[in-house]
Amino acid sequence: MCCDESLYPYTPSKVAPIIFLAAFLFSTLHHIWINVRYKSWRVTGTLPWGGIVFIAGFAVREVSAFHPKDLNLFIASTVLILVAPPVYALLNYIVLSRALYYVPQLSPIHPGRVITTFCGLDVVVGILTGNGGARVANADATSAEIEAGKGLLRASILLQLISFFLFVLLEYVFHRRCIKAGTLDPKATAAATKNANKVRRVLYLMYISSVIISSRHVFRVVDVFQGYTGYLQQHEWPLYIFDGAFMFVNALVLNTWHPMKYLPNDNKIYLSRDGATERLGPGWKDSRPFLITLLDPFDIAGVFMKRDKEKFWDHEDEHPIVGQDTIVTDKAGEAKSAV
């Protein structure tokens, strides 16, 4: 350790936390302004939330640097910085879900199941992390309990990495379907080309964010398996690179190419097969009980039972065209046809 009774194995920086606090403050204020501008709190409200968690984490880290023996400050800063990146992952789930609602005919899964499935996995990760962290941090725990806690932490990090790999795979499948259907190809009309570019940019944005977050997950996997005596925990710079710089770049990318520049606020608005027309549909509903959708997000049981799926996009002529028919917005931010 850097000094007697210090909880850090190094002398913690008093400058780095201020730099990252200021960086995330700038990004968060910009995200708040964008959410106000696009009225997209329901879709991208997690962006300011993630930034606020990082700001709190680095603020506590700064105080902890002056009081390296304070266990409460040490735990608080560690936990806050640890839980902030999954908030950005949640944003990716929501944005991909909204992209699938926008092009429903090519979605490999009900868009609503993206959020429930991957958030459900994240809840499991959180439970494992909380239980594992509590066992490791308990001063009265036996060596067996501490080892069990480390095992739970390893399991949580691995599950998080597997979950995000499956998310990227789902995104890739959707991307391939868009390419095969010609949705992303240059079109004859300006409107179709514009819509193709919007879908393409959202997909590329999700790929970039997914790579950044996955890199951070890999860092955490190595960190947990190395343990306290490993290189990553014995040096301070990896935390600021992978938890700080990587996640700030992710936030900055989303500042620059905000997904709601390209996607509608209302998940009932979808893209017609011609690629040029946006229509206001009834929304993609899932009549199955919530617990069933959680356990079987791909409706595998429905495949064996030969259950007919709702395909409202096959009746697109019955749905009003956005921008041509009169579309008004209700108080909840959802579009509806005025009659």
Could you read off the pLDDT tens digit of each residue along the chain, which spans 339 residues? 555 578 899 999 999 999 999 999 999 999 999 999 988 898 899 999 999 999 999 999 999 999 999 988 998 998 899 888 888 888 999 999 999 999 999 998 889 889 888 888 888 887 887 788 777 766 677 888 888 888 888 888 788 888 888 999 999 999 999 998 888 876 667 888 888 899 999 999 999 999 998 888 888 878 877 777 889 889 999 999 999 999 999 999 999 999 999 999 888 999 988 888 889 988 887 777 767 776 667 666 665 665 666 788 888 888 888 876 544 444 444 555 443
Closest by Cα among 22, 14, 15 to 67: 14
Report the distance separating Cα 84 and Cα 67, nearest Å.
23
Report the distance separating Cα 295 and Cα 166, nearest Å.
16
Cβ burial of 62 (10 Å; 0-12, 13-18, 19+) is buried
Q: Phi, psi (5° rounding) for residue 321?
A: -85, 130
pLDDT at 314 (0 to 100):
84
pLDDT at 304 (0 to 100):
63
With H, G, I as helix, E, B as strand and everything else as coil, classify residue 144.
helix
Contact call for residues 186 and 194 (beta carbons, < 8 A): no
pLDDT at 147 (0 to 100):
83
- Alpha carbon of residue 247 to chain centroid: 12
Closest by Cα among 313, 255, 337, 304 to 111: 313
- Rounded-to-5 percentages of helix, strand, coil across the chain: 70, 5, 25
Buried b (16+ CB within 10 A) or exposed e, 204-243: ebbeebbebbbebbebbeebbeeeeeeebbeebebbbebb
With H, G, I as helix, E, B as strand and everything else as coil, classify residue 297.
coil
With H, G, I as helix, E, B as strand and everything else as coil, classify residue 229.
coil
